[in-house]
Amino acid sequence: MWIMVFFDLPVVTKLHRKIASRFRKSLLQDGYIMLQWSVYARLCRGEERVDKHIARLKLATPPQGQVRILKVTDLQYGRMQLLVGKRTENETKRSQQLVLF
């Protein structure tokens, strides 16, 4: 399964920017890959792992702004269409790792 995180955080003040940056860094440290500036995804093996990472997200979520998550199967993720641009290097590597499992 994949966890997709979508967020829109305030960045008006220096403190807001620091909080938003800290949240993005926490996502990267927890194994998420950046698909777009405020869209991150993480591959998990099994519902139990998904629940564990959602609990971590809840702890790292800033008090202001919007943060949404979406759980999708690998098949659904694979059906995602990229209309403009190309897949990131991290996204390509992560997809290849799935084949190894």
- The CATH number linked to 30 is 3.30.70.240
Residue-level pLDDT at 18: 97
Q: Provide block-wise average pLDDT over 10 residues at a time, the chain (101 residues).
A: 97 97 96 95 94 96 96 92 84 59 54
Structural domain of 29: 2-100
Picking from 63, 53, 61, the residue whose alpha carbon sits closest to that of residue 4 is 53
Residue-level pLDDT at 93: 64
Residue-level pLDDT at 51: 95
| SS3 letters across 8-48 | ECCCCCHHHHHHHHHHHHHHHHCCCEEEECCEEEEECCCHH
Number of domains in the chain: 1
